[in-house]
Amino acid sequence: MAFYLVQLAYTPRAWAAMRARPQNRQEAVQPVAERLGGHIVNKWMAFGEYDVVAILEMPDNVSAAAFSV
């Protein structure tokens, strides 16, 4: 399997929703990665253009693209 870098940027509305109802986002999206045959290796919060940077291990480009959508 290959490793993929995923970069996420939250909208102001998403930040407001997360402040109002905090939750572990990795627990929410890990099952999606697993259904596609992969998993989240690790994730980090970031400063700058992107708010989250994650490394995924996925079986192929199609699965990685499906996860990112």
- How many whole angstroms from its chain centre is CA 32? 10
Output the pTM of the full model. Answer: 0.83
pLDDT value at 69 more than 90: no
Q: Three-state DSSP class for 9?
A: coil
**What's the pLDDT tens digit per position in 16-43?**
998 999 888 888 899 999 999 999 999 9
Q: What was the pLDDT predicted at 28? A: 86
Mean predicted lDDT score pLDDT of the chain: 93
pLDDT value at 44 more than 90: yes
Q: Three-state DSSP class for 8?
A: strand
Give the other-Cβ count within 10 Å of 10's Cβ.
14
Across the chain, the runs of DSSP E, i.e. the strands, are: 2-8, 39-45, 52-58
What percent of the chain stands above pLDDT 90?
A: 80
